[in-house]
């Protein structure tokens, strides 16, 4: 009643204050909106738009409907790089996560030289991908590369690791796992340290073995971290292609090419920008599906503290 009288008495001031708050909020949001709009949302929409048009090399661009997409589905190279990308994701994501967890559990213990180990595991993350690719290029070089020299000293024959379609993907996957695992380890380490030590003590009073405790308590409590890391790793496996520029250029015969690298080639080597736009829309759809799975489905099935 009192409140009603008050509002009736000062409707103008209240509305004015409301308006001022709104303007204030929008002004604070403005820089982020402008940047995101200009460099993320507008390009996505523009890409989608261009993917429905012809290239227009001889004359104006024409609306061609799904023609570009039809072409994509008929493109053997597209299917190969897509398959490569899924194989690459399947090879790198679980391995780097498993390795990260293993390293984190190890360096979480009270052992001598723990800080040194942590630093050592983290170092590959600090290096730029370009540098990493160059280092590993030397490892894989036929005959005088590190790997071949080592094999030769054991009496094996040399091998052109990056030149052989049957070994090139494995070689790249090993390198990416080496680079990524240390980064993911940091997340696991932080999560491990947030688990109260009494849980371990309570479990040991009950007679739980270390493995039982890890399986039934530690691992479930790490699930939010595992989910976060796996989404990141999956996105990275589609996003990180720097190594291809240095090491293989997608070869031999597209055996190591990934979707994003193919888009780059189509756009800036063949200058077929509308087809590149079409491929980009496909890539964005895949990544959006991954993110959506996390937010809609997986988040509900995981315990968050």
Partner 1 sequence: MSEIIVNAVSKTWGGVGGVDRISFKAEAGTLLVLLGPSGCGKSTTLRLIAGLEEVDSGTITIGGRDVTHLSPAERRISMVFQSYALFPHLNVAENIIFGLKVRGVGRAERDEKLRKVADIVGLSHLLERKPSQLSGGQRQRVALGRAIIAEAAVCLMDEPLSNLDAKLRHEMRTEIRALQQRLGMTMVYVTHDQSEAMTMADRVILMRDGHIEQNGAPHELYNEPASDFAARFIGTPPMNIISWQDGAMLGVRPEHIFVAERNGVPATVRAVEYLGADSIILCDVKGETVSVRQTGYCSLPAGTQVGLEWQNRHIHLFDRDSGKRLADRAPA
Residues 12 and 18: their CA atoms lie apart, in Å, by 10
Interaction of residue 49 with partner 1, rule CB under 8 A: no
Query: Alpha-carbon distance 183 to 233, whole Å?
Result: 10
Under the binding rule (CB under 8 A), the answer on residue 217 touching partner 1 is yes
Q: Does 198 bind partner 1 (CB under 8 A)?
A: yes
The β-bridge partners of 63 are 53
For partner 1, the binding residue among 2, 205, 289, 296 (CB under 8 A) is: 205
Which of 18, 204, 285, 293 binds partner 1 (CB under 8 A)? It is 204
Interface pattern 219-248 for partner 1 (x via CB under 8 A): -xx---------------------------
Residue 17 Cβ vs partner 1, minimum distance, rounded to whole Å: 38
Q: Is the peptide bond before 153 cis (omega within 30 degrees of 0)?
A: no
Is 211 a binding residue for partner 1 by CB under 8 A? The answer is: no
Round to whole Å and give the CA distance between 204 and 92. 35
- Helix, strand and coil content of the chain, in percent to the nearest 5, comes to 75, 0, 25
Binding partner 1 (rule: CB under 8 A), the pick from 196, 211, 269, 300 is 196
Q: In the block, which residue shows the tokens 């204030």?
A: 24
Residue 74 contacts partner 1 per CB under 8 A:
no
> What is the spatial distance between Cα 8 and Cα 4, in angstroms, rounded to a whole number?
6
53 DSSP β-pair partners: 63
d(CA 72, CA 65): 13
**What minimum distance in Å lies between the beta carbon of 209 and partner 1?**
8
| Interface region with partner 1, contact rule CB under 8 A, candidates 130-138, 177-185, 205-213, 231-239 | 205-213
Interaction of residue 212 with partner 1, rule CB under 8 A: yes
Q: Is 206 in the site for partner 1 (CB under 8 A)?
A: yes
- Token pair recorded at residue 93: 């994501």
Binding site for partner 1 (CB under 8 A): 196, 198-199, 201-208, 212, 217, 220-221, 303, 305
């Amino acid at each position: 009643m009192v409140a009603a009288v008050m509002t009736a008495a000062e409707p103008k001031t209240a509305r004015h204050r409301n308006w001022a708050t709104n303007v204030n909020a929008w002004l604070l949001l403005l820089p982020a909106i402008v940047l995101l709009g200009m460099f993320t949302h507008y390009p996505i929409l523009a890409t989608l738009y261009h993917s429905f048009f012809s290239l227009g090399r001889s004359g104006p661009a024409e609306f061609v409907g799904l023609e570009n997409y039809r072409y994509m589905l008929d493109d053997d190279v597209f299917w190969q790089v897509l398959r490569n990308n899924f194989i690459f994701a399947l090879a790198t994501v679980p391995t780097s996560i498993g390795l990260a967890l293993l390293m984190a559990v190890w360096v979480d213990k009270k052992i001598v030289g723990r800080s040194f180990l942590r630093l050592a595991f983290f170092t590959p993350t600090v290096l730029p991908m370009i540098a990493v690719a160059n280092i590993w290029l030397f490892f894989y070089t036929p005959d005088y590369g590190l790997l071949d020299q080592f094999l030769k000293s054991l009496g094996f024959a040399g091998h052109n690791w990056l030149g052989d379609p049957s070994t090139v993907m494995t070689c790249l996957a090993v390198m990416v796992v080496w680079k990524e695992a240390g980064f993911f380890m940091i997340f696991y380490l932080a999560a491990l340290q947030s688990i109260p030590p009494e849980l371990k003590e309570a479990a040991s009073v009950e007679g739980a073995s270390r493995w039982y405790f890890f399986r039934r308590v530690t691992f479930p409590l790490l699930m939010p971290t595992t989910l976060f890391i796996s989404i990141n790793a999956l996105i990275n496996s589609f996003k990180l292609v720097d190594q291809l520029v240095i090491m293989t250029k997608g070869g031999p015969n597209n055996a190591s090419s990934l979707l994003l690298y193919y888009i780059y080639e189509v756009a800036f080597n063949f200058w077929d920008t509308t087809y590149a736009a079409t491929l980009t829309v496909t890539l964005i759809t895949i990544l959006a599906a991954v993110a959506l799975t996390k937010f809609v489905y997986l988040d509900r099935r995981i315990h968050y503290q």
